[in-house]
Amino acid sequence: EVHLLESGGGLVQPGGSLRLSCAASGFTFSNYAVIWVRQAPGKGLEWVSGISNTGGSTSYADSVKGRFTISRDSSKNTLYLQMSSLRAEDTAVYYCAKLREGYFSSTIDYWGQGTLVTVSS
Amino acid sequence: DIVMTQSPDSLAVSLGERATINCKSSQSVLYGFNNKNYLAWYQQKPGQPPKLLIYWASARESGVPDRFSGSGSGTDFTLTISSLQADDVAVYYCQQYYTTPHAFGQGTKVAIK
């Protein structure tokens, strides 16, 4: 059974940094692209960043480009999101999600339960 | 970037009646090489992550009831719930995965009338 477990969320001050992790199990992690999607309180879904199966290709939403860095460690079956220069508008539940293929042009087939990031002084 | 726009923002339908949600993309998500539309639909219930319902615009995910169907091509797509059940109360999102960023629509909230 596919399982994605996010961690690392919490309260951080504006301008601060945080690193999210997503531990994957139940599938061969190195075969699939994985992404981060966020959802601000009471709002819709926003695609944040993605990384291909090999890690050789990454992509970012304009809203986070230059501030967030996505990476993966296939030896640990873990996805990361390093977030810096955080703003109030980054406050959201951050979901880790698996794509159906190793590349970006494929649908999301599994989601984690999410971790809440709150940016506030 | 591709922008996805859903309509309506919300709708209320009687149990057993049809619910229809529309999704429009700012540019075509049909890839001519394989003739596939890179469009998915998700269902999200309160306090839960989204769940995949439809991919390739019309392919139903395994385990999804057949009252859910997707149609459309190019820039205009529709999710239809043929006979609304109480368990279908949720927010529904379309998403294009043709090119990054894989934008979502703003969501459509479905309620029981």
Task: Convert the pLDDT of each residue in A77-108 to its tens digit.
Answer: 999 999 999 999 999 999 999 999 988 899 99
What is B11-70 written as a DSSP string?
EEE-TTS-EEEEEEESS--EETTTTEE-EEEEEE-TTS--EEEEETTTEEPTT--TTEEE
Q: In this prediction, what percent of chain B has a pLDDT beyond 90?
A: 100
Distance, in Å, from the CA atom of B110 to the CA atom of B105, rounded to the nearest integer, reads 15
Interface of B with A in 22-81 (CB under 8 A): 38, 40, 42, 44, 49-52, 55-56, 61
Return residues 62-121 of A near B (CB < 8 Å): 62, 95, 100, 104-109, 111-114
**CB B97 to CB A112 under 8 A?**
no
For residue range B36-75, list pLDDT tens digits in order: 999 999 999 999 999 999 999 999 999 999 999 999 999 9
